[in-house]
Amino acid sequence: MGATGSIGTQTLDIISRFPERFRAEALSAATSAEKLFDAARRFHPLCCALQKETAIPEDLKGIEWFFGPDANERMLLAARPDDALCAVVGIAGLSSVLTALDVCERVLLANKEALVTGGRLVMDKSERLERELLPVDSEHSAIFQCLKARENNPVRRLILTCSGGAFRTWDKKAIYNAKASDALKHPTWRMGGKITTDCASLMNKGLEIIEASWLFGVPQDRIDVIIHPESIIHSMIEFSDGAYLAQMACPDMRGPISYALGHPQRVEYGGKELDLAKIGQFSFFRPDTERFPCLGYAREAISKGGAYPVILNGANEEAVSAFLGDRIPFGKIAETVRYALDTCPDVPVSCFSEVLEADRAARRAARRFLEEK
C-alpha cells in the first residue's frame, strides 16, 4: 500500500530482484493512477486500489480494481497476501494497518502515524492475533536489529539518530521564513514531501519517539534523539553497563525494507558497501528545541497521552499541507501545532472512530488558526 511513493517504489525494486521469492499480489496508490498502471503492467498483481475512481486501461482490466476511501481495506480482504507493506502517508494509513493485521501473517510498517494516532489499537490487535509487526523506518529497523542481539540483557536507553534535516545549520529567523523549496532539499535522503518537511522541523523525530515507545514498550523518557549528519549510524541502544550497540549502513531505504521483507534472513538488495575510511569521522549534536520546537511538542503529547498524540499529528498534517502548497512560511507549522495542543480537549481514543474524531477536531483547530493568522 502506497506502491507509487518512495518506500513503495523501492520495495518493488527489491521484489523485482527476487521473483522466485516475492510476488506483488496487490498494489495501491492514492491518486497516482498512471504510476500505478505502470507498476501493474510490470508486476501483474491480482488486485489494485486507487482512492479516486478512474478509467482502467484495456490491458489492465483483468486485474480486480477497488476505488474509494476504503479501497485499500477491500483490496487486502480480496487478495489476502502473506505480508502487507504499509507505506500510506499520515493517519490515512491507520485503517489499512488494522485491516492488514486481520488478514496478513506479517505487517511491514512504514507508516509511523498509525502508531502515533492508534498505537494502542494497533499493538493490541497485533498481540491478540499474534501478528508479526516489523518496522521499516530506518531508525526503528536499526533498534529492532540491535535488540535482537542484546541476549536478554537489560537496555537503559534507545537512541534515535537524526540527520538534522535541511535547516540544521540555519538560524531561527531564516528557519521561520523558509519556503517549501528550501525544506525539500534534504541533505541525505530522498523522500516524499510530507516526511521531508517533517525531517526539517524535527517533527519526524518526535513522531518516531512515539512510534518507538509503542513498538518496543519503552517510555519516552528512555528514548533519546541525537543529530548525526552523516546518517551512517541509523540508531543505537545503550545497555545498563553503559555499552552501546549500533546498526550502521549507507543511507539507503532499501536496507530496512529488505530486512523486513526477508526477516529473519537478510536480502542482498544491491546497496553500496560502507567505506568507513572514506567517511573519516562521525559527528553528533544535541537537537535544539528552541529552533525546532516540534520535537518538544511531540514529547509533551506522548507524556500527556490520551488524544494529544492524535491532535499533534492532525494539526501537523494540516499545517504541512498548507506549507507544501506555499500558503504559509515554515515557522507557522510549529505555531499551528502549538495552537491545536493548547485548544483541543483531551477526548477518549479507545476505538477507531474516536481516533478519527480527535483527528478531525485537531484539523478544524489547525485550519481555524491558519485562517485567522
Whether the pLDDT of residue 300 is over 70: the answer is: yes
- Residues 168 and 220 placed together within one structural domain of the fold: yes
Give me the pLDDT at residue 190, please. Answer: 67
Q: Which is higher by pLDDT, 334 or 189?
A: 334
Average pLDDT over residues 237-260: 96
- Residues 195 and 122 placed together within one structural domain of the fold: no
In a domain, 354, yes or no: no
In a domain, 185, yes or no: yes
- Residues 156 and 21 placed together within one structural domain of the fold: no
In a domain, 75, yes or no: yes
- Residues 157 and 298 placed together within one structural domain of the fold: yes
- Residues 95 and 186 placed together within one structural domain of the fold: no
- Residues 145 and 270 placed together within one structural domain of the fold: yes
Confidence band for 161, pLDDT divided at 50, 70 and 90: very high
C-alpha cell at 85: 507493506
β 244-248/64-67 pair status: unpaired
Percent with pLDDT over 70 in the chain: 99
Q: Residue holding cell 530482484?
A: 17
Tell me the CATH number at 40.
Answer: 3.40.50.720
In a domain, 328, yes or no: no
Residues 6+ apart with CB under 8 A from 127: none
Please provide the average confidence, as pLDDT, over all residues in the chain.
Answer: 96
Percent with pLDDT over 90 in the chain: 96
Question: d(Cα 133, Cα 135) in Å, to the nearest integer?
Answer: 7
Residues 6+ apart with CB under 8 A from 96: 1, 72, 73, 76, 84, 86, 88, 111
- Residues 130 and 148 placed together within one structural domain of the fold: no
In a domain, 153, yes or no: yes
Average pLDDT over residues 100-110: 97
Helix (H, G, I), strand (E, B) or coil at 355: helix
pTM: 0.95
- Residues 296 and 274 placed together within one structural domain of the fold: yes
- For the chain, what is the domain count? 2
On whether the CB atoms of residues 226 and 205 are closer than 8 A, the answer is no
Q: 19-40 pLDDT, tens per residue?
A: 999 999 999 999 999 999 999 9
In a domain, 372, yes or no: no
- Residues 129 and 196 placed together within one structural domain of the fold: no
In a domain, 318, yes or no: no
Confidence band for 191, pLDDT divided at 50, 70 and 90: confident
- Residues 159 and 289 placed together within one structural domain of the fold: yes
Confidence band for 205, pLDDT divided at 50, 70 and 90: very high
C-alpha cell at 277: 575510511
Angle, vertex CA 180, rays to CA 196 and CA 89, nearest 5? 40
Give me the pLDDT at residue 227, please. Answer: 97
- Residues 59 and 180 placed together within one structural domain of the fold: no
Whether the pLDDT of residue 373 is over 70: the answer is: no
C-alpha cell at 207: 513522531
Give me the pLDDT at residue 372, please. Answer: 85
Whether the pLDDT of residue 189 is over 70: the answer is: no
For 278, the domain range is 140-304
Give me the pLDDT at residue 179, please. Answer: 95
- Domain endpoint, select from 102, 118, 135: 135
Whether the pLDDT of residue 186 is over 90: the answer is: no
Average pLDDT over residues 41-68: 97
- Domain endpoint, select from 135, 160, 185: 135
- Residues 118 and 147 placed together within one structural domain of the fold: no
- Domain endpoint, select from 102, 135, 168: 135
Q: Name the amino acid, one letter, at 86.
A: C
Average pLDDT over residues 47-55: 95
In a domain, 332, yes or no: no
Give me the pLDDT at residue 192, please. Answer: 80
